Amino acid sequence: MSHKGLRRAVTIPVLGLIDVLLVVLLPLWVPVTLVYDLVRGKFRLPTTRLMLFGLCWAWIESAGVMLLFLLWVVGHGRDHRAHYRVQGWWCGRIIAALRVTVGLRVEVVGAEKVGQGPYVVFCRHASLADSIISCFIVNNTMGFHPRYVLKSDLEMVPCLDLLGNRTPDRKSTRLNSSHEWISRMPSSA
């Protein structure tokens, strides 16, 4: 089994286990996190809301994996447009879950002034949420089909793994100081 196959043989079942555990243990963790937040005087319930987002994320992630599996089964495993639609759906659902559970609002100002491109967009990502927000803005709001340079660590997230390997994205490691992949970016267009 390849490294990629082995990684997916671990991450996808673990995701399914997380889905099931979060639902089955819901009657336990909701009251525990509520009490934990209230005892600490956190009346906006940050721990509970974050756990509820985790529940949403896990099921959105699983739904995305299923959609990507179905694309592969019906012979669209190399159809970039179909994968960009799944990516847009996935980003949109995660942003919606963040809005409902933790109150995140994404406001894009000046989108109507952006032309067709091509563009090079540099985003500073301090967290996975930053990556999702930039994906949402570039893909969903602007309607672009971007080519990402992703940290190879993000392949541990099943949807990012599958999407990143089925669209013309590139992987980079923190230890890789060579940036020869930048010169190959235009050739993958």
Looking at residue 85, its pLDDT comes to: 94
Band the pLDDT of 21: cuts 50, 70, 90: very high
pTM for this entry: 0.84
Terminal-to-terminal C-alpha distance of the chain = 30
Looking at residue 120, its pLDDT comes to: 81
Asked if the model's pLDDT at residue 36 lies above 60, the reply is: yes
Q: Which residue has the higher pLDDT, 44 or 154?
A: 44
Query: Do residues 94 and 60 lie in contact, with contact meaning Cβ atoms separated by under 8 Å?
Result: yes
Quick one: tokens of 164?
Answer: 């990143």
Nearest to 55 by CA among 84, 98, 88: 98
Looking at residue 181, its pLDDT comes to: 52
As a whole number of angstroms, the distance between CA 27 and CA 25 comes to: 6
